[in-house]
Each structure stands twice: as C-alpha cells, then as structure tokens.
Amino acid sequence: MLKVTALFTEYKTGKGPAVKAAQDVTFEVPQGKLFTLLGPSGCGKTTTLRSIAGLEQPTAGDIEVEGQPVYSSGRGVFVPPNKRNFGMVFQSYAIWPHMNVLENAAFPLRVRRTGKSRKETDDKVMKVLAAVGLDHLAEREATKLSGGQQQRLALARALVMEPQLLLLDEPLSNLDAKLREKMRFELKRIQRELGLTTVYVTHDQGEALALSHQIAVMNEGRIVQIGGPRDIYERPRTKFVADFIGSTNFLDGKILAHDAATGLWQASTELGTFKVASDQTFNQGDKVAVSIRPEDVEVVEHEPASGDPSNVVKGIVDQSIFLGDVTDLKIKVGDYLMQVRAHPTVLSTIGNQAFLRMRPEKCVAIAAG
C-alpha cells in the first residue's frame, strides 16, 4: 500500500556540509498494517515521516501510495500534503483553542462537507472520542484539557477521517505510564478494527514491540534492520539493534566451528566455549559478539548434574534488586558481570554461588563491527 524507495532527505545548514537526515530509506507497508520507525533521537525517523506526509521535500527517491506516486524525484512529482488524504498526529497538538472537544474532533468532517447530517457526524465523532477515552469530555473547552488529553484529541481528529494512511509521531509521549499502556491497547484495537495503514514513529522500544506488525530500526539516517517485533528482539543483526532493543549481555567471541546438523555455531568467548545461534554466515576465526538477553539466563544453585555442559558457567551473586514480578541480578563470572532477570522465587542472596545456564538458541552471534 505504501512504498518508499531509496529516499534521501538532506538539510542545508549554511555552514559546513548538509545534514544527511535520511539516507537510502526503503520499505513497504502492506494494506492495514502498522509499521514503526524506531530509533534514538536524531536518527532520521521523524524526517522520514514528514517526507511521507509532504511536509519535507526529499532530495531523491520515490514515495507511492496504492501504486500512485505522491513524490518522485525522477518523475518530478510532488503532491502537496493537503492533497494526500493522510491523517497526521505529531508531537505538537495543534488544537483549536476556541472550540470544545467535540468540535475539534469534528472539524475535518465539517470542513470536508461529507454530506452527512450534523447528528450523523456527531455520532461518528463520539464513537472515536469514546475509543480514546474523551467521550465524557466532549463539551469541555480544549484549552482546559491536560497535555495527555490534548494528545488523544489530536489522535481522535485524525481518526475521524478514516484516512488512506495514518502517520503518527510519538503520539503517546505525553501520557503517564499507566495511560500510555492503556492507549497502546486502544490504539492497536482502533488500527485493527478500522484497517488503517499506519506509519508510527517512536523511540520507545516497548511501544514499538507492543504495537507493530513490522519495525524498521534506524540509526544515523539509515535503516539497519527490518523485521517483525519478535525477529527484531530475538534475532538482532547488529550490536546496535541488540543494545537498543531492550537489555542484553555482550560476550566477545570467535567462531570455532559450525554444526550443520543442528545449525548451531561453536564460539570461544571470555566465559568459555558456547554453542550459539545466528542467521548470519561466518568463517572459522571470525570475531563475533554473542548477545544473551537477561531473561534468557537460567539461574540454579547447583551445577546441573546431566545434559550438555556447554553454555553453563559458575558465578557469584554480586547484586540483587527485587522488582515485584521479577528480580534483577548481577552475577559475577570471573571479571564479567552478567545481567540476569529471574523469577522472584529464585534464591539470590548476595555472595552466594550460582550457576548460569543459557540455551544455545537464545545466544545470538552477531558479526563484530
């Protein structure tokens, strides 16, 4: 439905070289799916979104929606943003201060003159306001809403148009933690029920994992990996992706051999020889970083009596933080501190001996770079 090809967007600063905000950005979003651009501040995700919206003039590339170009450097096409039929919610609320909540949300429908009666329009708007939790504030002046409520109103105003494409830039950023979590479910439900093709920008990894059908992780203006939430989390292809998405342990290693029967690799690491998994191809002697998520480290008090002895190390509990549903541990193995996220029933007295067991398929080898 949305196709972005070889998109480049640069800014001239007046001093020095141009800022390369988006570089060779290419991706596709199927009809009815939610696609997230994820990355740290300054990585080019908002520039990419604004280029799709028509609020930025790219330097080169192509943007197509349902096979029709809205921007093409080669064909000289640039469709103005008001002609693209996209719903947009950015970090600034852009709320009309002289209108109440209902009229703010209904404004796009009133201007477009859809042919529906005022009651039909109001009924439609009220359903959207209910979905974002603002139906009980329909008559309130927009200026008397909190920041989070204004953000939800901006979302409602975009949704009432049932746009061809919905573009969201950090729409939940001003909400408190509990409301943000609730709105994730609501936003996902609304997107699914309306079948809205959506491009979502965020720096919040949890938000991206919870909402997305696919995620593009960006860094320094480029997409470094595209995949489903589980693929991105469990099979990162670079150290940047593994480190940016959640927490992880990195072990420096070197490839020793490959087992064709199991598809696993054998690698020497600073904690010993490990069996590891990877979607990448290596040669013997290649340097790798082995990524192991804290929740994938099993803690036991006694050395396992049977089974494969590989991927088992002995350490001492160095730190223990009880968080209610989990306990975060730091286990010292030699000079290395291993991060572990364990069930709170796991005995974790500081100074006690502990054995760590890691399943090979959860130890991901990434080419060192």
**E strand or H helix that includes residue 272:** strand 272-276
State residue 182's pLDDT score. 79
The arithmetic mean of pLDDT across residues 234-249, rounded, is 94
**Phi and psi torsions of 71, nearest 5°:** -155, 135
Do 62 and 69 meet the contact criterion of CB atoms below 8 Å apart? yes
First to last CA, the chain: 35
Strand partners for 215: 36, 227
Distance of CA 215 to the CA centre of its chain: 6
> What letter would DSSP give residue 175?
S
In whole angstroms, what is the distance from residue 154 CA to residue 27 CA? 27
Q: Where are the beta strands (DSSP E) in 16-95?
A: 19-29, 34-38, 60-65, 68-72, 77-78, 86-89
Q: Are strands 214-219 and 34-38 parallel, antiparallel or unpaired?
A: parallel
DSSP one-letter string for 209-235: HHH-SEEEEEETTEEEEEE-HHHHHHS
The arithmetic mean of pLDDT across residues 179-190, rounded, is 81
> Domains of the chain by range and CATH?
2-234 (3.40.50.300), 247-367 (2.40.50.100)
State residue 359's pLDDT score. 92
Do 88 and 36 meet the contact criterion of CB atoms below 8 Å apart? no
**Strand order across the 327-333 sheet:** 297-300, 353-358, 312-322, 327-333, 336-342
In whole angstroms, what is the distance from residue 171 CA to residue 88 CA? 10
Give the mean pLDDT of the chain: 90
How many degrees, rounded to 5, is the angle at CA 196 between CA 9 and CA 128? 115
Nearest to 143 by CA among 191, 116, 103, 177: 103
Q: Residues of the chain with pLDDT > 90: what percent?
A: 66
The arithmetic mean of pLDDT across residues 160-170, rounded, is 90
Lowest mean pLDDT among 44-48, 144-148, 269-273, 286-290: 144-148
In whole angstroms, what is the distance from residue 55 CA to residue 329 CA? 47
